[in-house]
Amino acid sequence: MATLDQQREEITGLEVRRRMSQRGISMSRLAQEAGIALPHVSNALSGKEVLGREARKRLEQSLVTLGLDQAEPEPRAGVFRLPPKNSAAS
């Protein structure tokens, strides 16, 4: 039987930032969701600071809440994603 740690995906802070950028989620929104000061979240994602156990749990839960735990599929060669017609600039 697999333990909880074996079932969890590990992603780097760089990957979290990439996913945030893809989804238009700001660092301040992540910090607010986690209830952690923005500089601490930024430093934690860049590896400059280790969060305490409770803060880390809140940050990890916020990643799930905001959908950052799931990677978006990579675009296939020759396939382009266009905005819906009603949102295109006139």
pLDDT of residue 80 exceeding 50: yes
Model confidence, pTM: 0.71
Is residue 3 assigned to a domain?
A: no
Distances (CA, A) of 15 to 20, 83, 89: 8, 24, 31
Long-range CB contacts (< 8 A, 24+ apart) of 25-31?
25/66, 25/68, 29/66, 30/59, 30/62, 30/63, 30/66, 30/68
Is residue 84 assigned to a domain?
A: no
Is residue 33 assigned to a domain?
A: yes
Residue indicated by tokens 């500089």: 39
Closest CA to 41 of 30, 52, 57, 53: 30
Number of structural domains (the chain) is 1
What rounded mean pLDDT belongs to the chain? 84
Domain that holds residue 30: 11-69
Is residue 88 assigned to a domain?
A: no
Is residue 37 assigned to a domain?
A: yes
Residue 52's domain is classified under what CATH number?
Answer: 1.10.260.40
What span, in angstroms and rounded, lies between the C-alpha atoms of 49 and 40?
Answer: 7
Q: What is the pLDDT of residues 14-63, one digit of tens each?
A: 999 999 998 899 999 999 999 999 999 999 999 999 999 999 999 999 99
